């Protein structure tokens, strides 16, 4: 992890990389592959290449599951990871073992170290991980490699792929503006950079500005990312000569082969529409809980961080929190129960009882985002679905942007941050979104006050009567740290077992990953 962290070339997202040298990014990528002897072998991989703003990860995950269920050895490369860097590399649906990861990692690391020059320095983090993915998939002799673009398309490190079997573009939106441009057309142009001559490409329904750039007809099937995955997999099977061989006995009238259905129903992507029942603070015996209770502290985790994905997150949360909505295929298999570090699948059902439910927002986002836009989309979508947050909690970062982690990495100290200015800004924006006007609390007072945990009663106070005229913000709180926030929520549930606390964790994949890591302790 220290070696990988040394490859990070910027302290914050949005900053320019300080990599110097004679060659451009893609030229360097080709040279790294050549040094490792992978140039021709990568060209022989049968690749599905996927770019887009939203849904890249789920589309790639659906593709992997479909083709694995169809009998192929699969390799999947996605980003970012939530807890362990090995999550980025999956073989046959499972993240690569630590033994294999270390073997391939040090092989690539040592060879590249021996060949670096002033003109060709060590690759930055994502370039190294991309090269490592190619190394793994070549050596493991996968039948299909599903590769998710990191950022953009044209100049992305993965775009050394010259002859994919098929390309896909997921939904496009306004994100990474500092890199890709500030219009949908400019962003679409970057994403379309993965298209190759004579290679089929598929996309989903897009706004006209994006669709004109992509020059593709909309292809609409059910759930958008699943529909795109079906198209990509069918095209891959046809172009590799496997469609007739595998599905010749399937009914021609069937819309989707059975193997596709199995793949779609079992695909799982952590941190996206994931439900975790926390049992740490619950007094129960396991059999009684399984039959009679869903647990009184439930986390709903979704790494949404764009306006469009925030709306989708809000609709999903409103639906599943009430227990009366359909659950997406990805969340069917991610419905989990964590107790003292143990995870097990649980019934896809939120039990209805006489307990009172309170919806709580746990939020943070990167400073390159526009939190007012994100929170406005979240609140409006939830309100239109009849969901209202009792409280909003804003927490400081725990993960460091310049540090790569594994599942065994030591979690950052539980000590409080020295700077809460961003969290107070988020809180002020939240109060403005909720009430329509800026809170009257003097900004300097908010910035200079001591951050401490609120009393347990704060969670259960009636927030409907709070107003911006109060000197006390009754609808929200800035919390001293994420670990203390989790403990505080558990203490609140212990205090009032008759109340079910439903916590939506969103705004940042880093936040979602940190919460998952703490719940698994």
Cα-based angle 428, 457, 353 (whole degrees, multiple of 5): 105
CA atoms of 375 and 434, how far apart (whole Å) = 9
Write the DSSP assignment of 496-520 as a string of letters.
-TTEEEEEEEES-HHHHHHHHHHHT
Q: Is 58 known as a binding-site position? A: no
Cα-based angle 410, 416, 421 (whole degrees, multiple of 5): 120
Q: Is 298 helix (H, G, I), strand (E, B) or coil?
A: strand
User: What is the Cα gyration radius of the chain?
Assistant: 24
Q: Is 176 known as a binding-site position? A: yes
Query: Nearest CA to 36 among 138, 119, 126?
Result: 138
Burial of 63 (0-12, 13-18, 19+ CB in 10 A): buried
Burial 424-442 (b: 16+ CB within 10 A, else e): bbbbbbbbbbbeeeebebe
CA atoms of 7 and 326, how far apart (whole Å) = 43
Residue 422 backbone dihedrals phi, psi, to 5 degrees: -65, -40
Strand order in the sheet with 166-169: 94-95, 89-91, 74-77, 144-148, 47-51, 166-169, 201-203
Reading phi first (left if > 0) and then psi (alpha if -120 to 50, else beta), residue 14 is in left
Q: Is 357 known as a binding-site position? A: no
Q: Is 431 known as a binding-site position? A: no
Beta-carbon contacts of residue 458 (< 8 Å; ≥ 6 apart): 391, 477
Q: Is 302 known as a binding-site position? A: yes
CA atoms of 176 and 203, how far apart (whole Å) = 20
CA atoms of 123 and 367, how far apart (whole Å) = 26
Annotated binding site for Mg(2+): 79, 148, 176
Annotated binding site: 79, 148, 176, 272, 302
Binding site for ATP, by residue number, is 272, 302
């Amino acid at each position: 992890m220290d070696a990988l962290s040394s490859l990070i070339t910027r302290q914050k997202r949005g900053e320019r990389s300080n990599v110097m040298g004679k060659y451009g990014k893609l030229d360097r990528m080709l040279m790294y592959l050549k040094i490792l002897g992978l140039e021709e072998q990568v060209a022989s991989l049968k690749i599905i290449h996927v770019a887009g703003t939203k849904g890249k990860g789920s589309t790639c995950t659906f593709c992997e599951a479909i083709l694995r269920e169809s009998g192929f050895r699969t390799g999947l490369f996605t980003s970012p990871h939530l807890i362990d860097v090995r999550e980025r590399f999956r073989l046959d649906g499972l993240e690569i073992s630590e033994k294999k990861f270390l073997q391939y990692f040090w092989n690539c690391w040592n060879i590249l170290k021996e060949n670096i020059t002033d003109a060709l320095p060590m690759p930055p983090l994502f370039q190294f991980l991309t090269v490592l993915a190619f190394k793994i998939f070549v050596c493991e002799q996968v039948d299909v490699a599903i590769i998710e673009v990191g950022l953009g398309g044209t100049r992305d490190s993965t775009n050394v792929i010259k002859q994919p079997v098929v390309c896909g573009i997921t939904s496009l939106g306004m994100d990474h503006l500092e890199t890709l441009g500030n219009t949908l057309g400019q962003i679409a142009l970057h994403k379309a950079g993965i298209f190759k001559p004579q290679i089929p490409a598929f996309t989903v329904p897009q706004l006209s500005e994006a669709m004109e750039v992509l020059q593709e007809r909309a292809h609409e099937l059910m759930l958008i990312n699943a529909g795109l995955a079906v198209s990509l997999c069918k095209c891959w099977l046809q172009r590799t000569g496997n469609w007739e061989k595998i599905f010749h006995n399937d009914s021609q009238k069937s819309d989707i082969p059975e193997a596709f259905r199995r793949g779609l129903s079992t695909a799982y992507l952590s941190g996206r529409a994931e439900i975790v029942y926390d049992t740490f603070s619950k007094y129960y015996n396991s059999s009684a809980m399984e039959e009679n209770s869903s647990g009184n502290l439930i986390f709903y985790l979704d790494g949404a961080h764009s306006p469009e994905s925030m709306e989708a997150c809000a609709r999903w949360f409103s639906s599943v929190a009430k227990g009366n909505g359909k659950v997406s295929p990805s969340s069917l298999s991610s419905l989990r129960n964590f107790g003292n570090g143990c995870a097990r699948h649980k019934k896809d059902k939120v039990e209805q009882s006489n307990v009172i439910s309170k919806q709580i927002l746990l939020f943070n986002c990167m400073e390159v985002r526009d939190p007012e836009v994100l929170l406005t989309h979240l609140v409006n979508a939830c309100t239109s679905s009849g969901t209202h947050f009792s409280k909003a909690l804003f927490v400081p970062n725990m993960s460091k942007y310049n540090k790569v982690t594994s599942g065994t990495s030591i979690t950052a100290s539980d000590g409080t941050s020295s700077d809460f200015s961003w969290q107070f800004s988020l809180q002020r924006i939240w109060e403005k979104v909720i009430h329509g006007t800026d809170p009257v609390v003097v900004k300097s007072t908010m910035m200079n006050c001591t951050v401490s945990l609120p009393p347990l009663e704060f969670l259960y106070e009636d927030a409907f009567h709070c107003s911006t005229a109060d000197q006390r913000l009754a609808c929200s709180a800035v919390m001293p740290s994420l670990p203390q926030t989790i403990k505080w929520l558990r203490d609140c549930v212990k205090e009032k077992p008759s109340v079910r606390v439903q916590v939506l964790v969103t705004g940042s994949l880093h936040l979602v990953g940190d919460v998952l890591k703490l719940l698994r302790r």
